[in-house]
Amino acid sequence: MWQCSKCGREFKNQDQNHFCSEAPNTIDAYIETQEMEVQPLLHQIRNTIRTALPDAQERISWRMPTYWNGHNIIHFAAFKKHIGVYPGEQAMVHFAGRLTEYKTSKGAIQIPYDKPLPLDLIAEIAKWCYSH
């Protein structure tokens, strides 16, 4: 078990990513809680999705920045070594051929911090999720 020196909570994983206080309730607050070097990347993803989905509402869902319009469209979140983008399983199948350079799972894309952000692809995925 690993114990956070700031909040005292215990976790199974060493240096577990977590919020020491109450989880943020806005995307601005979420980004502000992240490491300084990650914040500009999160702002870039946020601005990309905002532009792609001007009618979607921003909210926090599942403790992640989320875009919503009657249902969750797409989420993103910062982790220790990557940014996760969560468009859902159907989008992962649809875009599988264009995601081969990233680690993926059933509904998630992991973008390592040492790779450029694929902002055009994220915008395209967000628009696809919105329309499906």
Q: What is the CATH number of the domain that holds 81?
A: 3.90.1150.200
Domain that holds residue 115: 24-131
Per residue in 29-64, pLDDT tens?
999 999 999 999 999 999 999 999 999 999 999 889
For residue 36, being part of any structural domain is answered with yes
For residue 121, being part of any structural domain is answered with yes
Reported pTM: 0.84
As beta bridge partners, residue 64 has 61
- In angstroms, the CA 72 to CA 105 distance is 18
C-alpha radius of gyration, the chain, whole number: 15
Question: What pLDDT is recorded for position 24?
Answer: 87
For residue 7, being part of any structural domain is answered with no
**pLDDT tens for each residue of the chain, 132 residues long:** 888 887 877 888 888 777 666 778 999 999 999 999 999 999 999 999 999 999 999 999 988 999 999 999 999 999 999 999 999 999 999 999 999 999 999 999 999 999 999 999 999 999 999 999
